[in-house]
Amino acid sequence: MLDLVGLPYRRSGTDPTTGVDCLWAARAALERIYPDLTLDEFPLDKAAAVEMSESADYWLPVRSAEQLGDVLLGNEPEPWVAVLVDPVGRYCFTANRTRGTHLVFQGNLGRVSQTLRRRATR
């Protein structure tokens, strides 16, 4: 995961050389955690990601992020997504304009509007 830290940020970006957004960062983290992750499960299209968060096919809403790979969604100051990559230290992987891709303590993410966990069986 550390090799993904420090990539430049670009809104709606999906190319690590020119910049990526938080959705791409979350997808990249999830691909490392779940090698069998499909594009349907976690799309790189923001509208589809909203639908993903409302779908019980692949993801279940949970009260809080506690397990490796839990996805956190927030809306302040703008929509963001992060993935819990260190449940013990409570660190999440995300991206933003000021820091690019980075690890952030879960308590410093801001207000979480929804937390999702991948279904064990699909």
State pLDDT tens for residues 102-117: 999 999 998 999 999 9
What share of the chain in percent tops pLDDT 70?
A: 89
Task: Give the confidence band of 3 by pLDDT, cuts at 50, 70, 90.
Answer: very high
pLDDT tops 90 at residue 5: yes
Instruction: Report angle CA 44, 107, 76 to the nearest 5 degrees.
Output: 50
Can you give the pLDDT at residue 57? 79
**pTM over the 0.95 mark:** no
Task: Give the confidence band of 44 by pLDDT, cuts at 50, 70, 90.
Answer: confident
Average pLDDT for 65-92: 93
Average pLDDT for 29-54: 80
Residue/partner pairs of 102-106 with CB below 8 Å, 24 or more apart: 102/5, 102/6, 103/1, 103/5, 106/65, 106/72
* DSSP SS3 for 121: coil
Q: What's the alpha-carbon Rg for the chain, to the nearest Å?
A: 13
**Architecture, CATH, for domain 2-118:** Alpha-Beta Complex (3.90)
Average pLDDT for 89-96: 96
pLDDT tops 90 at residue 84: yes
pLDDT tops 60 at residue 122: no
pLDDT tops 60 at residue 31: yes
